[in-house]
Structure 1
Amino acid sequence: MTSVEHMKWWGWGVEGVAFEHSNKPDFAPFVKQAVGLDLRKPAQAHLSFDELTVPASRASEEFIAELSTLVGQGHVTTDDQERVVHTYGKSIRDLLRIRANDLPRTPDLVVYPADEAEVASVVAAAVAADAVIIPFGGGTNIAGSLDPQPTEERVIISLDLGRLDRVLSIDEGSGLATIQAGAQGPSIEAQLGAKGWTMGHFPDSFTHSTLGGWVATRSSGMQSDKYGDIADITKGLRMVRPNGIVAIRPVPSASTGPSVREMIIGSEGRLGIITEVTVQVHRTPAVREVLGYFFPTWEAGLAAMHEIAESDASPSVTRVSNARESGFSLATRKASTGVSAQVTKGLMKVLTARGWDLEQLCLSFIGYEGSASHVRYEKGLVGSIVRKHGGIGVGKGPGALYDQKKFDTPYLRDFLLDRGAAADVSETAAPWSRLQEVYDAANDAANAAYDKLGVHGWIMCHLSHSYHSGACLYFTFAFITGDDPIGEYEQVKSAIQQSFVDHGGTLSHHHAVGVEHSPWMEQDISTEGVAIMRGLFDSADPGSNFNPGKILAD
């Protein structure tokens, strides 16, 4: 069998790794206050795999044999656990369904091609057999982009690209690297870093997601302020179609009609199977620093981020959390003693003496990369803007906390689910002039939904991914679930999403559409925009063989 590794079938990440709160003394009191959850109560036991009801595979022995001939024995499987792993992504809805033994439809078989030629042969065989093909990278998607349609009668293939995991070439003169689509974040950076390069793309899912998945879902990373979103980073690509290969050459810019490259980015597997991507890469910076700053209010932090975006500074990270998220971040710190604890207490006394309301304190992370002189210059520019808006720098300690936790937060969802609470995220982007309006509306919508459900809920937010014209707002919400966890979740999630489009934001900034966000597509891109997109999907995939039902409901 293939050596491709996957995450847990029931949650985030790898077996043996989990969120731990016993070394974080402020966390349990924080959770009790935020959502009323008592962490002293034992976690609920979830199903063992043997208790799952997994639908039988519909693939015939003849079809399995045909595909095995194409990719080799041991690279096609109908194993129940493999099929369950490839059924859902890692949204809260996905995790609730898997824990509730809700598996109305799974892929019928999982296929692991080794290269583009094998991908092409599998696609040809699948289309000839009128099968459905759902591409699979790391399985981290949280928008329902992987879900098989429950009513699908045809054979469903999960096409796992995990064996396509190499950096194929680096054009050092142009700063371009060609990389296979199944390569995961850590592998990409290790292969590039060994030759002194970085792609600079670090989404929250970095440790388990793939380049092909980033492109297919139009991803953004933590350092997109400097390196760009994946749509900026992607310069060329190759995609397998039933009758051949779409080959987009990595030119810096082109005037060649509507951009096919742009059509493919964010297409979630509906147009074909991405096999390799040529991306812009950068020399590994000599200096990398993430510094922490405090602002007295959310409004002050928002104004500072806006001015930084308009300035000559170009940080790699510009992020500010509202007071609620700042409280959460500080509550997840490990216990500090000695000098560190005394410094923290002393700082809080100074801020109180300055008239700060510590309940409104907002924590910011700003990152700098480049030569030592460039980093000094940018820190000076940013420092003056921060002071102008009443903020203060608090050094590298919070930045170390940011680096420590940035890829670990998804484990917290499993921890809360085990204790009867649901936590999820919604993110949007809007112009600077409307960010406060979008922020207020989303908070009001979530709280109204909590009131309707009769629960003690929580919502917090940070700003990230700053652009010339606006920024991303990233909301996290949580509450203790009742008898209908998915229905209750949908009420809160839908209220937040509707508030986005009602107040000038987009339905998603970087988590894609899938099935989770598709109800808002017409409101987001207009009726005629949906008509154009539907025409593209219908003409490119008349048999609905490629991941049907995603982005636009079929």
Structure 2
Amino acid sequence: MTGVKHMKWWGWGVEGVGFHWQDKPAFRPFVQKAVALDVKVPPSKPIAFEDLTVPAPILADELRETLERIVGLGYALTDDESRVVHTFGKSIRDLLRIRRNELGRVPDIVVYPADEAQVQGVVDAAAEAGAVIIPFGGGSNIAGSLEPIPGEQRTVISLDMGRLNRVLEIDEYSGLARIQAGAQGPDLEEQLNSKGWTLGHFPDSFTHSTLGGWVATRSSGMQSDKYGDIADIARGLRMVRPGELVVLRPLPSTSTGPSVREMIIGSEGRLGVITEVWVNVHRQPAVREVQAYFFPTWDAGLAAMHEIAESDASPSITRVSDARESGFSLATRKESKGFSAVAQNTLMNVLKRRGWNLDDMCLSFIGYEGTSKHVSYEKRLVGSIVRKHGGIGVGKGPGALYDQKKFDTPYLRDFLLDRGAAADVSETAAPWSKLKSVYDNTIAAANRAYDELGVHGWIMCHLSHSYHSGACLYFTFAFKHDENPVAQYQVVKDAIQQAFVDSGATLSHHHAVGLEHAPWMEEDISTGGVHLMQALFDAADPQGILNPGKILSRGFHAAPEEQASAAAAPAAAAPAATAPARKPAAAKRSAAAKESAPESTSAPESAPATAE
């Protein structure tokens, strides 16, 4: 046993934890209306692991023996389960394929180095053997950043960083901490909290993702308004490359040419393996509160968030959901009884008397941290802005529940998958002046895709992560799929992503590129930007062994043989692997989605326990 924690191979999180709806009376009718699915339908039974078709490893005895010498016999694994766990992340595409026994190319060996010297040994051995290295953190990625390129003929090594999980030192005077890259969110926060510190970085994947993964994918957290995105938090790092080590000291700012730190942040393993990160840390706040508010409309909520960003207030969380997502949130509540039920009914009656259409109502959460005096001051500032835009505060009870349950949402996706519905997310960022048109265009594009497929679909959104010049919009979409769910998903995903870039937004705010978003890179950063980035990857990794094919490729829109060819192409041919024109490909996939496919294997049952 390696001692490293992993999520279950067929879904999110740990065995024995799952979503259940029986104590949420509004949930069943909501899902029926949203995606024409009756959640009372019995879930599909799981495919047994032994029924998976796991290809034999492509691994020379000499390389296996070398890796075993470097990390130790018990830390170089070739068993089927270890290899399957390290094949995918947790995107809807990943889960659909694994439940349908469509594994594709699987890593040949999984290694667990204990320290940086062993990481260097593994990377150097891979370079000498011409093998592929894919760094692995918590396995939570949803952009296709972890899987080997289809058709890859070289040995693929999954380098699991889970044993490098310690906070090594804290520079208390500077507010900096040096942390190993394999530390998962709960573990590093526990170590920091024990000394009175916090990183303040809480992405949705917090419970199952790592510091190195956050840096490699340019992660953002729920409290980024206060603490910054990971690109702001990470000040220095160490990264292993074939034959050398990159060391960046934790400096507050530099003027030393193009930023190597910025090149590495978001590089998804294509430049090397991150082993340590120096990060900004903060003293734990004396007071932490998440207050809930209602706004009469989505436009009012957006305007309020914009004004808060321009004001002297500096909350840790600024989040507002559109009416559809607000309805979803209310539908996932447990049944209210006694005084709580009376209070809720009273509030709704008050809002009706004010002339609110409750179907348009939008729920907001705003977080405050600091001394008691500072939090009171912030709440007064924000409260006046909320009232100016017609909103009303409803206290910290709903906010406390949000804070408690914020990491449980992915379990709901597994629950829906078990019952034949696909649900996923796409997020973007745009200037304040473009946010409303990005929202409108994306909703319209998704609904056109649903009509094209002939399915009853749903899309909802919230604003999060406010900045001086704009904000992140985070969309969740779902539909009841047929026997060809991946092709159907691609039609909807394409429509949403294309709406982003056509509306002046980015292809992703914090979920990274991987293979999922690679086809839009040229539209996002320009042809010249793609060529510049490709030149960096070619020069840094002329062998093409460091997580090849991610970020710059045709991604999932290329045939397997094209993906493998692009990944193995020499540096001179690399520009040809940039993104193709998007819209004709989308039309082809739409037609493909309507074609029949072989029936899938059975999906796993939802776990008997609850996330609550």
Coarse TM-score class (shorter-chain normalised): over 0.9
Q: Secondary structure at the match of 2:437?
A: helix
Deviates more, 1:20-29 or 1:467-476: 20-29
Aligned to 1:412: 412
1:494-505 correspondence runs (5 A): 494-505=494-505
Segments of 5+ residues of structure 2 without an aligned counterpart are 554-565, 567-612
* Residue 331 (structure 2) pairs with residue 327 (structure 1): no
* Residue 27 (structure 2) pairs with residue 27 (structure 1): yes
Matched AA of 2:85: V
Aligned to 2:188: 188
1:17-416 correspondence runs (5 A): 17-416=17-416
Q: Is the 8 Å Cα contact of residues 186 and 207 (structure 1) preserved in structure 2?
A: yes
Q: Is the 8 Å Cα contact of residues 181 and 212 (structure 1) preserved in structure 2?
A: yes
Counterpart Cα distance in 1 of 2:143 and 2:152: 19
Aligned to 1:508: 508
CA displacement, residues 216-255 of structure 1 (integer Å, 9 cap, x when unaligned) = 0000000000000000000000000112110011010000
Matched AA of 1:328: F
Q: CA deviation at 1:62?
A: 2.2
CA displacement, residues 198-220 of structure 1 (integer Å, 9 cap, x when unaligned) = 00000000000000000000000
Matched AA of 1:81: E
CA displacement, residues 410-442 of structure 1 (integer Å, 9 cap, x when unaligned) = 011110000000000000000000000000000
Q: CA deviation at 1:37?
A: 0.3
CA displacement, residues 38-95 of structure 1 (integer Å, 9 cap, x when unaligned) = 0111011131101100000111222211111111120000010000000000000000
Counterpart Cα distance in 2 of 1:403 and 1:40: 29
Counterpart Cα distance in 2 of 1:488 and 1:251: 47
Counterpart Cα distance in 1 of 2:111 and 2:382: 50
Counterpart Cα distance in 1 of 2:125 and 2:50: 33
CA displacement, residues 465-486 of structure 1 (integer Å, 9 cap, x when unaligned) = 0000000000000000012100
CA displacement, residues 383-412 of structure 1 (integer Å, 9 cap, x when unaligned) = 000000000000011102211221000011
Q: CA deviation at 1:10?
A: 0.3
CA displacement, residues 496-554 of structure 1 (integer Å, 9 cap, x when unaligned) = 00000000100000000000000000000000000000000000000000000000013
1:428-467 correspondence runs (5 A): 428-467=428-467
Deviates more, 1:229-238 or 1:331-340: 331-340
State the percentage of identical aligned residues: 73
Q: Is the 8 Å Cα contact of residues 35 and 478 (structure 1) preserved in structure 2?
A: yes
Q: Is the 8 Å Cα contact of residues 240 and 273 (structure 1) preserved in structure 2?
A: yes
Q: CA deviation at 1:150?
A: 1.1
Counterpart Cα distance in 1 of 2:435 and 2:107: 41
Q: Is the 8 Å Cα contact of residues 239 and 245 (structure 1) preserved in structure 2?
A: yes
Counterpart Cα distance in 2 of 1:403 and 1:333: 14
Q: Secondary structure at the match of 1:207?
A: helix
Aligned to 2:479: 479
Q: CA deviation at 1:264?
A: 0.1
Counterpart Cα distance in 2 of 1:208 and 1:153: 30
Q: Is the 8 Å Cα contact of residues 138 and 184 (structure 1) preserved in structure 2?
A: yes
Q: CA deviation at 1:281?
A: 0.2
Q: Is the 8 Å Cα contact of residues 292 and 393 (structure 1) preserved in structure 2?
A: yes
Aligned to 2:594: none
CA displacement, residues 9-48 of structure 1 (integer Å, 9 cap, x when unaligned) = 0000000001111111111111011111001110111311
Q: CA deviation at 1:279?
A: 0.2
Q: Is the 8 Å Cα contact of residues 333 and 401 (structure 1) preserved in structure 2?
A: no
Q: CA deviation at 1:335?
A: 1.5
Q: CA deviation at 1:104?
A: 1.6
Counterpart Cα distance in 2 of 1:151 and 1:207: 33
Q: Secondary structure at the match of 1:513?
A: coil
Counterpart Cα distance in 1 of 2:74 and 2:374: 52
Q: Which has the higher contact order (CA 8 A, sep 6+)?
A: 2
Counterpart Cα distance in 1 of 2:240 and 2:537: 15
Q: Secondary structure at the match of 1:436?
A: helix
Q: Secondary structure at the match of 1:74?
A: helix
Q: Secondary structure at the match of 1:538?
A: helix
Counterpart Cα distance in 2 of 1:529 and 1:63: 37
Q: Secondary structure at the match of 2:394?
A: strand
Counterpart Cα distance in 2 of 1:296 and 1:104: 48
What is the TM-score when the length of structure 1 is the normalising length? 1.00
Q: Is the 8 Å Cα contact of residues 270 and 546 (structure 1) preserved in structure 2?
A: yes
Q: Secondary structure at the match of 1:22?
A: coil
CA displacement, residues 434-469 of structure 1 (integer Å, 9 cap, x when unaligned) = 000000000000000000001110000000000000
Q: Secondary structure at the match of 1:70?
A: helix
Q: CA deviation at 1:119?
A: 0.2
Counterpart Cα distance in 2 of 1:342 and 1:512: 45
Aligned to 2:542: 542
Counterpart Cα distance in 2 of 1:104 and 1:551: 20
Counterpart Cα distance in 1 of 2:334 and 2:221: 26
* Residue 20 (structure 2) pairs with residue 10 (structure 1): no
Q: Secondary structure at the match of 1:125?
A: helix
Matched AA of 1:534: Q
Q: Secondary structure at the match of 1:508?
A: coil
Q: CA deviation at 1:103?
A: 1.2
| TM superposition outliers: structure 1 runs of 4+ over 2 Å | none
Counterpart Cα distance in 1 of 2:186 and 2:363: 28
Counterpart Cα distance in 1 of 2:344 and 2:404: 19
Counterpart Cα distance in 2 of 1:502 and 1:62: 51
Q: CA deviation at 1:128?
A: 0.2
Q: CA deviation at 1:280?
A: 0.2
Segments of 5+ residues of structure 1 without an aligned counterpart are none
Aligned residues: 554
